[in-house]
Structure 1
Amino acid sequence: VGEGVDPGWVGKRVVARGQSGYAERMTASVEEVVEVPDGLAFPQAAAVLHDGATALMLVGKGEIAKGEQVLVTAATGGAGSLLVQLARDAGARVIAAARGERKLRLARELGAEVAVDYSEEGWDARVREAAGGEGVDLAFDGAGGELGGVAFGTVAKGGRFVTYGTSNGGFAQIDQQAAEQRQIRAINALMDGPPPPDVVRDTLARALALAAEGRITPVIGATYPLERAADAHRSLAERATLGKSLLMV
């Protein structure tokens, strides 16, 4: 440890949200370091490192209530797969949207009661039907772009729409007038900028604890040796991945 850092950190298993992670060794500020709970392996801790805190913060913004109908798009991505589990753990009925049967099957395994393919025409109508006809109480949009705009249309009057993803070409295209008319609270989770470091650290510690308790299970879709980082990025670009991809050193 560096000068002025508590030597009690020596020997502890830790993770850190630092920069320059594509390396065998790195340094991190002590403010970024979080201890890994007993019983949680390093690969699982690494998979929770970024998206675990993100998913918990999104759940806080969405204010899930027991018994609500919740849509999660990009439901088998790093954050989406955790949102499915957290929403289910909160007592919600989860409707997942993803692309392809392999991802739909995983979404159901994670706890989604209904899974729809958003590459198929009319998927939004199937979501509304699955939610009883009026639409969902809350939607988490991890896709963005035009697809996110369609997801917004599945939210019932008086519901909430939390957007955080841009993989489909920017943030969701939302009709603000329609949002006001339908009394929908639309929340761009990233507009306020990153939260304070202590909030991120505390939220990550909560996510790691949930994973250690088995209440959430990070999905590790693939692992690559460090020298194959380009292959990992290629799979991400082709949208062929499930959950998180890890580089192993």
Structure 2
Amino acid sequence: MHAVRLHAFGPAENLVHEEVADPVPGPGQARIAVAAAGVHLLDAAVREGHQGPLPELPSLPTVPGREVAGVVDAVGADVDGSWLGRRVVAHLGMAPGGYAELAVTEAERLHGLPEGLDFAAAVAAIGTGRTALGIVQFAEPGPRDVVIVPAAAGGIGTLLVQYAKNAGALVVGLAGGPEKTARVRANGADLAVDYTAPDWPDAVRAYLGGRAATIVYDGVGGTVARETVALLGPGGRHLVFGWSAEGIGMGRGYFVEGVSQSVLGPAMLQKAGGLRALELRALDEVVRGRLRPAVTRFPLAEAAAAHRALERRGTVGKVVLEP
């Protein structure tokens, strides 16, 4: 098979598309003929040699990627043979191996997919979708809320906008540049604002007409976060998530709930009833059409280009590699 391997930590060019031996499923495992593999910003950080929230860096060479969808083409001992030929999606957990034509995972991680569900959308649901649903547990929106979503054109931001709108909230989506703000508007945000414009907070205040924001879902941090926090009213909730978010200064007596990637997992699981419960809920929301993931697709052989585009914020929604 062909896979993308990293032989040395460093720039995106270190990702090499090459031929490697086919993986063989062991006891309790299944092999997936990959149709779509998710790319995460964490993959790019690990590629450069940054450990991030991982317990340790992977041994080299390694095949990055932890989210795959496709068709089961082989199973190991003690695995129900009815999985063979089924359309599935799986999050590989801490084990890499997704950037490949074939990927092996524990059979207990598999989720069956209905016919007609796009493999790339399923990949977005199993990773980005479960994270978005885990985030909103800490600040559930409702019809009385004014929700601001920085990075609203990203994978998680796209779904947070949709979720808040489904809950009846007024939603303001922030994104960089006219193309992304147009996508945010098309995604259902009541107001889409270009945060690269110097007067964007004034545009938000004018639109709200005296109302204050009640919830901010912030995975960005930095200057944008500080300006967004200033739009919150007393008692407003500012939820910080994502290991890559820049630091921000707090104050003004707001209730601020910070959830970093390192603690999001345990807190999220305690509220959700387990990781698989979140995955099932995310997939159900996508199948029902209530959540509609945005996807930027690249051929598997162009994984390096996918990383570069993701790092320079040149993508919309979930980045997916397709063999």
Same fold (TM over 0.5): yes
The equivalent position to 2:295 in structure 1, one of 211, 214, 220, is 220
In structure 1, what is the Cα distance between the partners aligned to 2:237 and 2:114?
34
Q: Which residue of 1 aligns with 2:168?
A: 91
State which drifts further: 2-11 or 95-104: 2-11
Cα deviation code 1:133-165 (max 9, x no counterpart):
342010111212232222222211111111124
Deviation for aligned residue 1:193 = 4.2
Q: Which residue of 1 aligns with 2:265?
A: 194
Q: Which residue of 1 aligns with 2:30?
A: none
In structure 2, what is the Cα distance between the partners aligned to 1:93 and 1:189?
26
Superposed counterparts of 1:55-204, under 5 Å: 55-165=132-242, 170-175=245-250, 177-178=251-252, 181-182=253-254, 184-195=255-266, 196=269, 199-204=274-279
Say whether the 8 Å CA contact 2:176–2:195 is kept in structure 1: yes
In structure 2, what is the Cα distance between the partners aligned to 1:93 and 1:131?
9
Deviation for aligned residue 1:225 = 1.5
CA RMSD of aligned residues (A): 2.1
Say whether the 8 Å CA contact 2:242–2:261 is kept in structure 1: no
Structure holding more strand per residue: 2
Deviation for aligned residue 1:15 = 0.8
Deviation for aligned residue 1:130 = 2.7
**SS of aligned partner of 2:149:** strand
The structure with more radius of gyration: 2
Deviation for aligned residue 1:104 = 0.7
Say whether the 8 Å CA contact 1:147–1:172 is kept in structure 2: no
In structure 2, what is the Cα distance between the partners aligned to 1:4 and 1:203?
26
Report the residue type matching 2:256 in the other structure.
Answer: R
In structure 2, what is the Cα distance between the partners aligned to 1:121 and 1:165?
25
Deviation for aligned residue 1:53 = 0.5
State which drifts further: 103-112 or 209-218: 209-218
Report the residue type matching 2:309 in the other structure.
Answer: S
Superposed counterparts of 1:29-48, under 5 Å: 29-48=106-125
What residue ranges of structure 2 are gaps of 5+ in the alignment?
1-74
In structure 1, what is the Cα distance between the partners aligned to 2:291 and 2:163?
7
Say whether the 8 Å CA contact 1:64–1:90 is kept in structure 2: yes
Superposed counterparts of 1:231-246, under 5 Å: 231-246=305-320
In structure 1, what is the Cα distance between the partners aligned to 2:119 and 2:175?
28
Q: Which residue of 2 aligns with 1:11?
A: 85
- CA pair 85-123 structure 1, distance change in 2 beyond 3 A: same
In structure 2, what is the Cα distance between the partners aligned to 1:239 and 1:89?
27
Say whether the 8 Å CA contact 1:163–1:171 is kept in structure 2: no
In structure 2, what is the Cα distance between the partners aligned to 1:58 and 1:125?
27
Normalising by structure 1, what TM-score? Answer: 0.89
The equivalent position to 1:210 in structure 2, one of 285, 294, 308, is 285
Structure holding more helix per residue: 1
Say whether the 8 Å CA contact 2:165–2:189 is kept in structure 1: yes
What residue ranges of structure 1 are gaps of 5+ in the alignment?
none
Identity, in percent, stands at 36
In structure 1, what is the Cα distance between the partners aligned to 2:260 and 2:243?
12
Report the residue type matching 2:290 in the other structure.
Answer: R
**SS of aligned partner of 1:27:** strand
**SS of aligned partner of 2:261:** coil
Say whether the 8 Å CA contact 2:134–2:278 is kept in structure 1: yes
Deviation for aligned residue 1:100 = 0.6
In structure 1, what is the Cα distance between the partners aligned to 2:77 and 2:204?
55
Say whether the 8 Å CA contact 1:144–1:166 is kept in structure 2: no
In structure 2, what is the Cα distance between the partners aligned to 1:165 and 1:115?
22
Normalising by structure 2, what TM-score? Answer: 0.69
- CA pair 15-60 structure 1, distance change in 2 beyond 3 A: same
